[in-house]
Amino acid sequence: MKFFRVLVLVSLVSILFGCTTLPPRVLSAELGTQVNSGKIAKPTTIFEPGDRMIHLVVQVDNVVAGTTVGAKWYSVTPPRRLLFESELALDVFNTSADFTLTTTGDWTPGQYEVVVFLDGKQSRTLAFAVKGE
């Protein structure tokens, strides 16, 4: 009976901690100015010039040790240019990433985008805008 309990316990632990063959995948990626409990409080793709910090929260499923998520932020109003890039490592207990794009002054009105990478491969692109007065 004791052997059976140990076998069941080992099986459950194996199921819970990564004996899966499903690859990691991006579940969601949202933009906003505030994050609460690891989620964007009010998702938006339209920002004001005075929004000093723009957050990108990426949720990933099937995370295994070594999974990375990256973000490259661009201004796409000509000329297109890379503004900032960063990468974060995830694990089975931390399956979301919060990236921020900050400025000390006002944003220039125009079109922008952020490209999300999962394990070095492009996963999705989110377009956003800064509206002028």
Residue 51: which CATH number? Answer: 2.60.40.1930
pLDDT for res 68:
98
> Would 50 be classed as within a structural domain?
yes
The yes-or-no verdict on residue 13 having pLDDT over 80 is no
> Would 5 be classed as within a structural domain?
no
- Asked if 119 contacts 24 with a C-beta cutoff of 8 angstroms, the reply is yes
Specify the pTM.
Answer: 0.82
pLDDT for res 42:
95
> Would 10 be classed as within a structural domain?
no
Residue type, 87: E
> Would 11 be classed as within a structural domain?
no
> Would 6 be classed as within a structural domain?
no
The yes-or-no verdict on residue 19 having pLDDT over 90 is no
Dist CA 49 CA 131 (whole Å): 7
Give 21's pLDDT tier (boundaries 50, 70, 90): confident
Q: Which of 34, 27, 25, 47 is nearest to 98 (CA)?
A: 34
- Identify the H or E element spanning 4: helix 2-16
> Would 17 be classed as within a structural domain?
no
> Would 14 be classed as within a structural domain?
no
Residue numbers of the domain that contains 41: 22-130
pLDDT for res 66:
92
Structural domains in the chain (count): 1
pLDDT tens track for 54-82: 999 999 999 999 999 999 999 998 899 99
> Would 33 be classed as within a structural domain?
yes
